[in-house]
Amino acid sequence: MKQCKLFATTLTLLFIAACALDTSRSDGRQTEGLTFFHLNDTYRIGAVESGKAGGFGRVVTVIRDAKQHGRDVRVLHGGDFLYPSLESQLWNGQQMVDAFNYMDDIAPMYVVAGNHEFDPRTPEHLINAVRQSRFDWLGDNYVFKTDDEQVDGALRRAFIFEHGDKKVGVFALTLHPDDGGNDRAYVPTDIDYKEIAEKTIQSLEKQNADLIVGVTHLHMWQDVDIATLKEKHPRLLFIVGGHEHEPEHSPATVNRAAVMKGASNARVIWRVDVDFPDDGLPVITRSKLMELDESIESDTGYDEVEDKWRGQLLEKFPFLTATVGEAAVPLDAREVTIRNRESSWGNFVVDQMRGAFGEPPVDLAFINSGTLRIDDFISGDIRFEDIGRTFGFSSFLRYLNLSGGEFRQVLEAGYRGAGPSKGYFPQVSGFRVCIDRANPSGKRIVSLQVPTAGGWAEIEDGADYTVVVPDYLYGGGDGYEFPQLREASRPGSELKYRVLDAIMAAQAQGQKVGAPVDPDNPRIVILEGADKDCFR
Ligand SMILES: [Zn+2]
């Protein structure tokens, strides 16, 4: 942590105000201009898709490249990184802090906490993470209340850094528990995002900020709403955010700041170049969505950080690389697939849920795709690591009875809201469902069918069905609401081991697992345009 933060915890408000101006990184050198790189929702220390996409090694390469071209580079992160991941189950996100520190040493890095930074119920992990951070933790609508004075004082409120003779103000906001944030006593959070943003912007204006940017972990529509503050505060140029896992862009207008989000695991990041015309307001001279693919080499210096953690992981769990089975086809578990449509890996995983409570298998099962974290293809040999990376959380299941009408109503939550790539999007088994997103939220399922002796029939509203769902969803997670009177079994049977067991059973019989999604027999149909034909 920087020196001034330590003062801020112990000395007077005067010092806090002095510390709000960060000159520690300003070398006073004239540069070619100011460049921001923005990333969000990163869970992997390395790249994904067998090393072909994303990863901090590629981020470091593009940062170094911009710096070599004389740019003054700042790295922004929209939150969600300490959890969940295979590594975090061992190190509580220390591996991410190490990676961020590496980037921060090259270009100053400013980070807002996302909901996943507060996954654990108690703050020990956060204390360790913040104490080891050289990058800056930002937050204007929340505070750390960990009882560790140094950590609690380290969270930076709206601050200004200098670029040449220009002042750049940065504010940061994160999700309140009512909107999907974690409800933790060690991080009291305020929900009045826009009001706080405006007050913060006003304070930055008073400090003569030439340019103001927001770093958030909110829903896209909330960012776009905050962006309208540009009308009254024209130096607000852009907001970059997280929480969504696929790229989003709301371009700037005269009255609205630009809003941008990248893809998870740095598969796609944003580069934003800004300029300060002699008379007038700051402008974005270039905003570029950068796909970090094989055309960009990983930085060899960063690779050493990655290799170090890889080595420690394999030391702890040497069996991770062991083959447990074989995939019949490349099983698609990328977030871009699994959070938007039927997925071959999703189908295989959810099929294992139906037998989790013995014979006969239950009628219906589904899982929120956000539980499945690997963000990769699983092809050829299936290794234990693929299972470990798929389940970043515990995955205990519950069994219950629901009427067809109740089930339909519960499932509607999976198709609510706007925009792509929601972690609550369900992968399903035992039924097929047709969605029309043109309908209002809560009324988007136009057909929900179960198999019959002769084919398929609409689910019967009044009939009872047996159902298996994750304990997390039964408890109200991800916005799903189960009827209060419908009691479920105790949480039992962990899905991670059901999946492992199924793969090993197939391997024992010399069989491969998984099947491609069948376009002639889909489980999930999402109507597009004028086409209202669900199941042909
Ligand atoms: Zn999030």
Cα 245 to ligand 1 centre (Å):
9
pTM: 0.88
Cα 80 to ligand 1 centre (Å):
6
CB of 349 within 8 A of CB of 365? Answer: no
The pLDDT, as a whole number, for residue 6 is: 38
User: Residues 394-426: pLDDT tens digits?
Assistant: 899 999 999 999 999 999 999 998 877 889 999
Nearest 5 degrees, angle CA 474-CA 499-CA 488? 20
Q: How many residues does the chain have?
A: 536
Cα 233 to ligand 1 centre (Å):
27
Return d(Cα 289, Cα 522) in angstroms, integer. 33
- Matching residue, tokens 């700041």: 257
Cα 115 to ligand 1 centre (Å):
5
Tokens representing 315 are 């030391």
The pLDDT, as a whole number, for residue 31 is: 66
Cα 182 to ligand 1 centre (Å):
10
Cα 104 to ligand 1 centre (Å):
22
Nearest to 111 by CA among 154, 148, 146: 154
CB of 109 within 8 A of CB of 39? Answer: no
CB of 245 within 8 A of CB of 339? Answer: yes
Cα 450 to ligand 1 centre (Å):
33
The pLDDT, as a whole number, for residue 10 is: 35
Is 244 strand, coil or helix? coil
The pLDDT, as a whole number, for residue 137 is: 98
Cα 41 to ligand 1 centre (Å):
7
The sheet carrying 21-22 orders its strands as: 21-22, 159-163, 166-174, 211-217, 236-241, 258-261, 248-250
Cα 470 to ligand 1 centre (Å):
19
The pLDDT, as a whole number, for residue 248 is: 95
Return d(Cα 314, Cα 385) in angstroms, integer. 10
Cα 149 to ligand 1 centre (Å):
26
Give the pLDDT of the chain (536 residues) as one tens digit per residue: 444 443 333 333 333 333 344 444 444 445 689 999 999 999 999 999 889 999 999 999 999 999 999 999 999 999 999 999 999 999 999 999 999 999 999 999 999 999 999 999 999 999 999 999 999 999 999 999 999 999 999 999 999 999 999 999 999 999 999 998 999 999 999 999 999 999 999 999 999 999 999 999 999 999 999 999 999 999 999 999 999 999 999 999 999 999 999 999 999 999 999 999 987 899 999 999 999 999 999 999 999 999 999 999 999 999 999 999 999 999 999 999 999 999 999 999 999 999 999 999 999 999 999 999 999 999 999 999 999 999 988 899 999 999 999 999 999 999 998 877 889 999 999 999 999 999 999 999 999 999 999 999 999 999 999 999 999 999 999 999 999 899 999 999 999 999 999 999 999 999 999 999 999 999 999 998 888 889 97
CA dist list (Å): 84 to 178, 185, 355, 388: 21, 20, 26, 11
Cα 237 to ligand 1 centre (Å):
23
The set of long-range contacts for 140-143, using a CB threshold of 8 Å and a minimum separation of 24, is: 140/171, 140/172, 140/173, 140/196, 140/197, 140/200, 141/173, 141/174, 141/176, 141/189, 141/190, 141/191, 141/192, 141/193, 141/196, 142/113, 142/174, 142/187, 142/188, 142/189, 142/190, 143/187, 143/188
Cα 217 to ligand 1 centre (Å):
6
Cα 433 to ligand 1 centre (Å):
27
Cα 261 to ligand 1 centre (Å):
12
Return d(Cα 124, Cα 157) in angstroms, integer. 22
Tokens representing 529 are 């345009």
Question: How buried is 315 (Cβ within 10 angstroms: 0-12 exposed, 13-18 middle, 19+ buried)?
Answer: exposed
Cα 29 to ligand 1 centre (Å):
37
The pLDDT, as a whole number, for residue 393 is: 82
CA 429 to chain centre: 25
Return d(Cα 86, Cα 387) in angstroms, integer. 10
The radius of gyration of the chain's CA atoms, rounded to the nearest angstrom, is: 24
Cα 242 to ligand 1 centre (Å):
7
Cα 218 to ligand 1 centre (Å):
8
Cα 117 to ligand 1 centre (Å):
9
Return d(Cα 271, Cα 157) in angstroms, integer. 24
Cα 177 to ligand 1 centre (Å):
11
